[in-house]
Amino acid sequence: MRTIKLVVAYDGNSYHGFQKQKNVVAVQNVIEEALSKICGEAVATAGSGRTDAGVHAWAQTITFETNGRIPCANMIRALSSLLPADIVAISAEEMEAGFHARFSAKWKRYQYRI
């Protein structure tokens, strides 16, 4: 089982926040659907944090585990072809087992603009 760290950016205007939800579209739902197609199996992601509806992210860290063999460099290209224009995969990196986007984070930065 591989542990992958994925960094994404998104414009949250069209979403009901980051965290997946039933009956509404959230960023996590869209990313998991694309990753599941790429990896050929159901993928569950964990985010380093959550955003509310309409909130954007410049560098949201996400982790997931997969048995899929697609190289990380190819994963970015594949995600770009499946994700909508308002969600962008910035980087993908294979991590050691046990790495978790939220629990392994050393710091987080939030910037609020009104």
Q: The pTM is what?
A: 0.90
Q: Please name which of 82, 1, 71, 87 lies closest in space to residue 37, comparing C-alpha atoms.
A: 82
Distance CA 16, CA 78 (A): 24
Q: Residue with structure tokens 């964990």?
A: 46
Question: Under a CB-based contact definition with an 8 Å cutoff, are residues 53 and 90 in contact?
Answer: no
The domains located in the chain, with CATH, are 2-95 (3.30.70.580)
- At 11-25, the pLDDT tens digits run 999 999 999 989 999
- At 44-91, the pLDDT tens digits run 999 988 888 888 888 899 999 999 999 999 999 999 999 999 999 999
Question: What residue type is assigned to position 3 of the chain?
Answer: T
What residues are labeled active site? 52
Q: Please name which of 91, 82, 78 lies closest in space to residue 7, comparing C-alpha atoms.
A: 91
